[in-house]
Amino acid sequence: MSQTDVNVLPGGNLFQNKISKEELETLKLEMNKKALLKRRSQTTGRIIANIAVAFVVLLPLLYAVSIAFMPSGELFSMDMNLVPEHPTLENFSSALTNVPLIRFILNSFLVAGLITLGQIISCSLSAFAFSFLDFKGKGVLFMIVMATMMVPGEATIISNYLTVGNWGMLDTYGVLIIPYLTSAMGIFLFRQFYMTFPMSLYESAKLDGCSNLKFILKILIPLTKSAIGAMAVYTFINAWNMYMWPLLVTGSDKMRTVQIGISMLNSVDSQSITLMIAGVVIIIIPSISIFIVGQKQLIKGMFSGAVKG
Amino acid sequence: MNKKVKAKGRFSPYVYLVPSLVIFAVFLFYPFAKTIYLSLFKTNKMGEAKIFYGIGNYADLLSSPSFWNSMKVTLIFAVIVVVGSMLLGLITAVLCNKAFPGIRFFSTAYALPMAIASSSAAMIFELMLHPAVGIVNKLLGLDINWLNDPNTALYCVAILTAWLNSGINFLYFSAGLGNIDDSIYERASVDGASGIQKFFSLTLPGLSPIMFYTLVVNIIQAFQSFGQIKILTEGGPNESTNVIVYSIYRDAFFNYKFGSASAQSVILFIIIMLITLVMFRIEKKGVKY
């Protein structure tokens, strides 16, 4: 933009332009010195306030990282020891060998990944039907789906546990994944996005001989990437962080997810606090990385859909 | 041929709903109904309904001091968590309201707690609150056994939960602040309004729609906190952190009182439903759009 402005200025070569620009700038600076000073001090104040608050918010994490690198002997002293004097990787390696942490991590990746994939599929199919198709009982069914958001997980968890126990499904991947393969929130989110498309989009695709399934795959999904991205980040993190259900239904190391597995490090003697914290740091890394990478996507998808509604 | 297409058209809408509806039916509607059913029975250790007990489980709960303690603890816990997490979310959102160098780093930092599991956070806090080596006692120069003292344990788990929930509140409030028209601030500045005046008479009213939604979500979430309590205090000491969800867990899976636990689940559901309905009623009257 400024490039073209410079070029179209009448009769000015580059040198002259530069001078006049600088002059203008100093003039402006002098004129607005007071205002600028005020604004600058405001910005500085804002940054200082942010650094202070961010330090408090991040303190638990910074502290955990610091302790994870600390030899366990160093922790047990009466002095202030926030930063390890002799940083070591030993805690990480013993966390990985003391409990089958790698196995827990793989389990969690598998469970959270499949839940995310399953929710995206089932929710886009349902949202498609609720947005583009006409059928008997559509309104009532949609209300019923939305009403499920009011039922807290604790109101169903006991019966669910008894049910899967009767089916002999305890301690399997299936029992960790299947109950979470759909979500009312996901259906709602996708429907919010689909409703912004005109009906004619669907009708013209139909006229061109496009089947419903093809319409979803070739048109809807590419058009709603931001909603899918938001949903994927949100669902994966929540599934990765699940606690109560896996605690109830997994009994063996083979099936345990990270959040349950890591609490096993908690029960061992207090000399191994540093080891436990190293384990916590290891399992926090995947969810934080996914959050940082997907944060923009998450905000875009969550809030643009909600606002349009 | 034509007939076939028509028939297919009549059934096909439902086909797309089958995956979701089956999951909801098996893992939500059925267990919910079963929970209500179980709450009317005395059960055996396998969780099978054995003796019809009517509203006996509810009556027993309402006359049990332990249940009322649970309700009291849950209420205190929820108030601290909701106020704390919304306040932190609001402060951080206001701090990131205007562009400044480093804003991306700070907004990621403020939203970050939402990516952290309650169990992981609980273990970090356990170390921070450790009586001998924890950073809290060292920084404050105190010697308090935070999690084993009935006077402090509840506040500790509540503050941890407020921290965990503040991340998503930051996102809600940031979105809310983004929706407030900048020009009203400029006009107020011209009229000589101070920053604090602007905050209370422009920012807060402008946030009221999202504030309301965030409040409902936060209350529901606070009522359902479990992992941090299981790991840090297990409802103790002296039941001082025995919130209703933990009490449900303990009654069902340690005491095998599935009937009583189910009754508590139903009560939890009713409380959450009532709060949601009341809040929506209030919203219709009070929130300024």
Which of B14, B29, B109 has the CB atom closest to A57's CB atom?
Answer: B109
Q: Give per-residue pLDDT as tens, B141-194.
A: 888 888 888 889 999 999 999 999 999 999 989 888 887 877 888 888 888 878
What is the structure's pLDDT at B287? 55
**Given pLDDT bands bounded at 50, 70 and 90, which one contains residue A210?**
confident
Residue A101 to residues A170, A262, B72, B142, Cα–Cα distance (Å): 21, 8, 39, 35
CATH domain A91-308 topology: MetI-like fold (1.10.3720)
Whether chain B has a CB inside 8 Å of the CB on A286: the answer is no
Whether chain B has a CB inside 8 Å of the CB on A39: the answer is no
Nearest-neighbour CA in chain B from A14: distance (Å):
31
Percentage of residues in chain B having pLDDT higher than 70: 94
Q: Is the pLDDT reported for residue A8 higher than 50?
A: no
- Residue whose C-alpha is closest to residue A230's, from A292, A297, A307, A305: A297
Whether chain B has a CB inside 8 Å of the CB on A60: the answer is yes
How many residues in chain B? Answer: 289
Exposure string over B136-149, b if 16+ CB within 10 A, otherwise e: bbbeeeeeeebbeb
Rounded CA-CA distance A193/A178 in Å is 26
CATH domain B56-286 topology: MetI-like fold (1.10.3720)
Q: Give per-residue pLDDT as tens, A65-122.
A: 998 998 887 877 777 777 888 888 888 988 888 888 899 999 999 999 999 999 999 9
**Given pLDDT bands bounded at 50, 70 and 90, which one contains residue A268?**
low
| ipTM (interface pTM) | 0.85
Q: Is the pLDDT reported for residue A309 higher than 70?
A: no
For residue B41, what is the enclosing H or E element?
strand B41-43
Q: Do B110 and A57 touch (CB under 8 A)?
A: yes
Residue A257 or B285, more confident: A257
Residue A293 to residues A64, A233, A289, Cα–Cα distance (Å): 22, 9, 6
Q: What is the mean pLDDT of residues A158-182?
A: 92
Residue intervals in chain A for CATH 1.10.3720.10: 91-308
What is the structure's pLDDT at A271? 65
**Given pLDDT bands bounded at 50, 70 and 90, which one contains residue B4?**
very low
- Residue whose C-alpha is closest to residue B220's, from B287, B259, B284, B276: B276
Q: What is the mean pLDDT of residues B15-33?
A: 93
Q: Is the pLDDT reported for residue B289 higher than 70?
A: no
What is the structure's pLDDT at A29? 75
The answer to whether A95 and A276 are in contact (CB under 8 A) is yes
- The residue with tokens 């020009």 is B183
Q: Where are the alpha helices (DSSP H) in B2-55?
A: 2-24, 30-38
Q: What is the mean pLDDT of residues A212-227?
A: 88
User: Is residue A271 exposed (0-12), middle (13-18) or buried (19+ Cβ within 10 Å)?
Assistant: exposed
